[in-house]
Amino acid sequence: MLPICPHCGHARTANAEVPDWQCPACGKAYAKVDAHLSPAERRQYGRIEVPENRGGGSKWLLLLLVFGALLWFTRPLWQARVKPPEPVVAIGQPAVHLYATDWCGYCKASREFFHTNGIRYTEHDIEKSTEALNTHRKLGGNGVPLIVVGDEVVNGYNEDHLRQLLRPWIRG
């Protein structure tokens, strides 16, 4: 065996009490001599265990990323494809009249509601038309907007009530 340890540089003496393949100073093996030992020597000294280099967790992280990407990109294939129910189309939307002014914010919101949901309506400006103002007063209007859907009168902008009245004709 080697008389000088390649790890710590200790010179081995003849009266060392450790096996020939082990350094008396640092205790490390001189070389991987496990394969060169006879079966009797292996039993006497035991097996030299060399730690295995496993490469850390990077391969598991890579595997997890690949699996996640696979799930993400195949999601449309395994998700249940439910066709949304087709909206019930009712024929004959009732007449909708909007009594409003140009400057009113709620009147603007009413117009946007009608445009967004595809509701046909007729607008009457109560500041520009005396006839519209008289009809507004007859309907009990105290302010604007006043919305008439068929025979139903809605004072002010009430989106929930409008949705309830116009549900069959709202698109989307």
Tell whether the model's pLDDT for residue 97 goes beyond 60: yes
Model confidence at 135, in pLDDT bands (50, 70, 90)?
very high
Task: Say what the pTM is.
Answer: 0.48
Neighbours of 150 (CB within 10 A): 12
- pLDDT at residue 109 greater than cutoff 90: yes
- DSSP letter string, 4-42: B-TTT-PBP-TT--S-TTB-TTT--BSS--GGGS-HHHH
CATH of domain 96-169: 3.40.30.10
pLDDT digits (tens, 9 = 90+) for 142-166: 899 999 999 999 999 999 999 999 9
Average pLDDT, integer, range 18-43: 68
Ramachandran angles phi, psi of 44, nearest 5°: -70, -45
Parse the chain into domains and list their residue ranges.
Answer: 1-50, 96-169
CA dihedral 19, 24, 26, 27 (to 10 degrees): 20
Give the C-alpha separation, 11 to 22, whole Å: 12
Q: pLDDT digit string (tens) for 18-30?
A: 887 788 888 887 6
CA distance 99 to 159: 16
Which helix H or strand E contains 44, and what residues bound it?
A: helix 39-45
